[in-house]
Amino acid sequence: MSPSVRRFALSVHLTCSVGWIGAVLAYLGLGIAATRSDNPTTVRGAWLAMEIVGWYVLVPLALGSWVTGLVMSLGTRWGLLRYYWVVVAFVLTSIAVVILLLHMPDVSAVADAVARADAGDLNRYGGDLVHAGLALALLILIQVLNLYKPPGLTRYGWRKNNRSRVDRARDG
């Protein structure tokens, strides 16, 4: 990957990843509003907004982060399987994306139920704080992992590095 393409891919990846964290924060704020409010309009509006933020912001940013992370790992010296931190970050991101995709139909179902419910019944619909809180913690963990890049080559990484050294010594 050329340096200009790498910088572009990294910019897109960082935008998607940081945007995903921001969208989770917005979703968490809406969940808190739905949980704490006694106002039926607020509860209804928060759940409808959580559905919109989920499908139109969280899902695209999560998929964008996953795809661009894969591109960055395959197109740079880090590789997808060379370093433990890359493998762990990719697996955790994959888990987060799968959970999000499996969870969003439930959000839509609750948003539909809240839209049809009588005002008196809305107090039983709390916000979606557990999923949002765990997602935020996981995404921050992934961000810290990607920032600090703890050392540690996988077995594949060791073999690949040793093969490169042998090839350089032979050719040199």
pLDDT at 172: 61
Mean pLDDT of the chain: 90
Residues 72, 34 contacting (CB under 8 angstroms): no
Residues 115, 34 contacting (CB under 8 angstroms): no
Range with the lowest mean pLDDT among 10-14, 67-71, 112-116, 134-138?
A: 112-116
Residues 125, 58 contacting (CB under 8 angstroms): no
Q: How many other CB atoms sit within 10 Å of the CB of residue 138?
A: 16
How many structural domains are present in the chain?
Answer: 1
Q: pLDDT: is 48 or 118 the higher one? A: 48
Residues 64, 23 contacting (CB under 8 angstroms): no
Segments in the chain forming alpha helices (H): 3-36, 40-53, 59-75, 84-116, 129-148, 155-171
Query: Mean pLDDT throughout 83-109?
Result: 96
Query: Mean pLDDT throughout 162-172?
Result: 68
Q: Which two tokens stand for residue 86?
A: 């890359």
| Confidence bin at 168 (pLDDT 50/70/90) | low
Owning domain of residue 113: 3-171
Q: How many other CB atoms sit within 10 Å of the CB of residue 124?
A: 10
Model confidence at 38: pLDDT above 90: no
